[in-house]
Chain A
Amino acid sequence: MSLVIDPRSVDRPNSYIGRSLPRPNARKLVEGRGQYVDDLVVPRMLHVAFVRSPHAHAQIGRIDASAALGLPGVLRVFTGQDLAAHCDPWVAVLAHLKGMKSAPQLPLPLTTATWAGEAVAAVVADSRAVAEDAAAKVSISWQVLPPVTDMETALDKPTPVIHPELGDNLVFERVNESGNVAEAFKTAHKVVEATFHSGRHTGVTLEPRSILAEFNKGDDTLNIHHATQAPHMMQEVLAKHLRLPLSAVRVICRDIGGSYGIKVHVYPDEVAVAVIAKIMGRPVKFVADRLESFGSDIHARDHRIKGRMAIDAQGRITAFDIDDLTGIGPYSVYPRTSAVEGNQVVNLVGGPYDFPNYRAKTTVVLQNKVPTCQYRAVGHPIATAVTEGLVDLGAEALGIDPVAFRLKNLMQDDTYPRTSPAGMRFEGLSHVKSLGLLVDMMDYRGLRAQQQLLRAEGVHRGIGFASFIELTNPSPFMYGIGGARISAQDGCTVRIDPDGSVVAATGVTEQGQGTEAIIRQIVAEAVGVPIDVVRVITGDTLTTPYGGGTWACRGAGIGGEAALQAGIATKQAALNVAGAMLQAAPDALDLVLGNIVDKATGAVRMPLAELGRIVYFRGDTLPPDLPRELMQTRHFITKQFPFAFTNGVQASHLEVNVDTGLVTLLKHWCVEDCGRIINPLLVDEQVRGGVVQGIGGALFEHCTYSPEGQLTVGSMVDYLVPMAAEMPDIEVGHVETPTKESLLGAKGAGEAGTAGAPAAIMNAINDALRPHGAKVFAQPFTPERILAAIGRVPKR
């Protein structure tokens, strides 16, 4: 059978895979005609506003809602007790993260608030404004408890235990070790070390978390319009904890205003909305405001890492030794858990390099702050900053160029497949080729020469590099083996309609990445139709194949392969019918741009629309036993490797003003190898968006807390995000090493930018500060920290 389209072939007429095409859903968005959850208005819809804990740690006493209930338009006030009867608690642990523990959690807590911003009561009214008015009138008798705010002392004896039933504040601990680290350091030619801090930050999706829940008491079905990345996961969670069959719960995602991992978790306040809708039998909407977002969206990356690296006399890295500590808030977040970020750090440090000895330890502890969980590039920016910071220190200790030191120590491109000392399996990476391309793109020699000249004039410019690996296309080894009901498999159904139009329903979802665009390209090419007749359906548990959604860079690699296979199967089905209609062997026919053609000559035999007409309206004219299944579903799951690792390298060129401590970004480069590129236009801006998000964490973004556990950044005035004026132009280059696990060969591309940018920025700042002998390792690299490093202001 030679029907298979092969994206590996370079000569493919009428191809769509690999082309820079605009997104089909972009037009409505630029006209403001998208539809986000907050745009939905349904009859008898109610609104929720939450009463949130003003204390980081406090016992909830009497809740007096009488004044709130007295306001016109207020219908109900729910407490934790009211909702607990209708919802089973969850405990966010994964079995494969051995020894992990966390406390049971409910939509609203019963006795104790454990972070400032935790929802403790829900006010339901006929408008959000009235619900907020009423929430301000709910009076709660608090008994304030001492908070746990410093992760360094979270496990010390005098520190209060947040959940006494757990015995201590330890969530998870893991040591990942191979080789002989002690010996490597004993015999090292050089040892470099530093303590790194990654500032706690958050996603700041422009569209806040949003949910509209409708429960039909007539048939006991729950409809959820939700800004989520993983509708099937949410369907599972709501069905299980609200005690409904899976078939009674439908989760629908329309347009979603950004996600980045923020919208892939179970938020107790959102579960509360579903429970309230079920109790009241009326549609209930909740859209977080910005203050609520800062105080209740997951935070991430609150880590302190002590790292050291050993180098032998030949300039080869012989060992990494890492001690990571992270504070995750009072609960592990359901169902992915909050131990995964630390676990990623101990899996990913040293990732691009060829060295024999490895030890990495993570300690995950509780604290009375906003819960942390997976946010874009989970653990990668931390591991990359530690690795690349140490690598630059190593080059400096040896007195050699950082590029030369990397070229000497990177895993060579012809040494795959291989397994890293951390136990990660790599199918095929291109570190050396990627770094070579990057150095050419940026004119590295020219920049170095310019740097020297400007230093003489007192201008401090720096060049920083960061090689990185990125985990994409996760198998069940990520969550499924730990017991989480999160699908690593995804599916696609492709259907040819009577006029030759094609509909593709996919389990992967769209939050702006371009999922609809790439599925459309793949299906159009696989079936053999013009792209504009293909319509893609995403984000509806009732109408799409069961799948995982879009996270961990799985949309293109897993959803894309399912779409490719479903498209090929649908084309085969059409050609089988065409063969019968045209008295030809199906193998001798092809489907090209919506026409059945003679494969050898390309001569058009029949439009696909004619085939559609016969199949759907005149099936009587076909042979009775001829299958005419113009709708095919295929699923895909990775089986050979737990993850499809990608790689890349970034460089930052910047200037540090040593009088003000301000950093001006001049230019940024990224070379990324995400395997087969389906649409370069989309990949490039995905990479750039990721880079900017990484820069945000490196320079601006920080969820700061008072010693009492009060979040001191509650608005976008206090919490700085990257805006256009501070961001540089970002040049993107590609190397393509397709995965052989799939015909499509695609890996993920969405997190690479975020993975590498902070390390590149850090190394560039430290390169700029070299004449001052100063270095910074604590993100965000604020003017104050930079001035303190060079001794212009006191260290705090």
Chain B
Amino acid sequence: MSTEVAISLTVNGERISRRVEARRHLIDFLRLDLGLMGSRVGCEHGVCGACTVRVNGLIARGCLILAASLDGDSVETIEGVSDTGEIRDLQDAFVARNACQCGYCTPGMLLTAAELLRDVAHTGTTPTRAAIREHLSGNYCRCTGYHAIVDAVEAVGKARMSGSEGGKP
């Protein structure tokens, strides 16, 4: 019933060529075909944000994108950005402030937060708590009260702005 499509793309900097079912969404492709389990499946209809990954540098819902549409594209997951150390300061802040409890939303939450803070060091302005809450409002966390997450993102934003530590490598 399904047709296979050949794709070549970059995932976390590695070149990948696969044949995928046309109906395979990106999150299943990452998890089932590539064994990259760090991105989670939460709702599969684009609401919860657990499957957030980067496609060509911008965050996207892995459950709303068909893998077959990504020929020639670049995908980054939590495993990739952890290995490069790009969001190490955010990860440290999440650990230090208990901004992650069960951890299921955390990879998506971190990638979303990282996007918000991407230009802080460059622009010299960091988002307010309200702006952080607004930006994270597509990522569902059932464990924390979001307060610690906002604290962590706010602290990293301020640190990057002052250049005291962290900052984009």
Q: Please give the residue numbers on chain A whose beta carbons come within 8 Å of chain B beta carbons, in ascending order.
A: 22-23, 26-36, 38-39, 41, 129, 133, 203-208, 255-260, 287, 289-290, 511-514, 681-682, 684-685, 687-693, 715-717, 721-727, 729-730, 753
- Which residues of chain B are within 8 angstroms of A688 by Cβ–Cβ distance? 144-148
A289, B44: Cβ atoms under 8 Å?
yes
- Chain B residue numbers with a CB within 8 Å of A722 are 146
Q: Are A26 and B149 in contact (CB under 8 A)?
A: no
Interface 9-mer from B3-11, B74-82, B161-169: B74-82
In the bound complex, CA of A725 to CA of B133 (Å): 5
| A38 B94 Cβ-Cβ under 8 A | no
Q: How many positions in chain B have a CB within 8 Å of any CB in the partner chain?
A: 57
User: 16 A-B residue contacts at CB 8 Å?
Assistant: A22-B98, A26-B100, A30-B82, A31-B38, A32-B106, A34-B103, A36-B104, A204-B142, A256-B102, A259-B102, A681-B98, A685-B148, A715-B47, A723-B136, A724-B139, A725-B134
The residues of B that contact A36 with a CB separation of less than 8 Å are 40, 104
Contact B48 A206 (CB under 8 A): yes
Which listed residue, B44, B45, B142, touches A206 by the CB 8 Å rule? Answer: B142
- What 7 A-B pairs have minimum CB-CB distances, sorted nearest first? A32-B38, A688-B145, A29-B103, A512-B102, A257-B104, A32-B78, A512-B101
Minimum CB–CB distance from A392 to chain B (whole Å) comes to: 24
CB distance from B98 to the nearest CB of A (A): 5
User: Do B137 and A255 have beta carbons less than 8 Å apart?
Assistant: no
Partner of B142, one of A34, A38, A258, A724: A258
- A717 → chain B closest CB, angstroms: 6
B117 at the interface (CB under 8 A from A): no
Closest CB of chain B to A11's CB: distance in Å? 27
- Chain A residues positioned under 8 Å from B43 (CB to CB): 290, 715-716
* Residues in B whose Cβ lies below 8 Å from that of A681: 97-98
Q: Which residues of A contact B37 (CB under 8 A)?
A: 32, 35, 38-39
- Residues in A neighbouring B41, C-beta threshold 8 A: 38, 287
Q: Does B16 contact A (CB under 8 A)?
A: no
CB < 8 Å neighbour of A692 from B82, B103, B132, B146: B146
A206-B145 contact, Cβ under 8 Å, with A32-B37, A32-B77, A511-B102: no
Cα(A723)–Cα(B133), bound, Å:
8
Cβ of B95 under 8 Å from chain A: yes
Q: Out of B94, B101, B147, which one reaches A729, CB within 8 Å?
A: B147
Does B127 have its Cβ within 8 Å of any Cβ on chain A? no
Is the contact region of chain B dominated by helix, strand, or loop, or is it mixed? loop
Residue of B nearest to A725 (CB): B137
**Other A-B pairs beyond A688-B148, A689-B145, A730-B145, 13, CB < 8 Å:** A30-B103, A207-B102, A290-B43, A512-B102, A514-B98, A684-B98, A685-B144, A689-B144, A721-B140, A724-B137, A724-B139, A727-B146, A729-B147
- Nearest Cβ distance between residue A622 and chain B, in whole angstroms? 42
Complex: A682 Cα to B31 Cα, angstroms: 31
Interface presence of B129 (CB below 8 A): yes
Kindly supply a per-residue 1/0 record for chain B positions 28-51, scoring 1 wherever the CB is within 8 Å of any chain A CB and 0 otherwise: 100100010111111111011010
Closest approach, in angstroms, between the C-beta of A659 and any C-beta of chain B?
A: 22
A207 and B79 CA atoms in complex are apart in Å by 19
Give every chain A residue within 8 A of B146 (Cβ-Cβ): 688, 692, 722-724, 727
Give the chain A neighbours of B23 by CB distance below 8 A: 129
Known pairs A725-B133, A725-B134, A727-B133; A257 contacts B96 (CB<8 A): no
Bound complex: CA A28 to CA B82 (Å): 10
Q: Is the CB of A729 within 8 A of B129?
A: yes
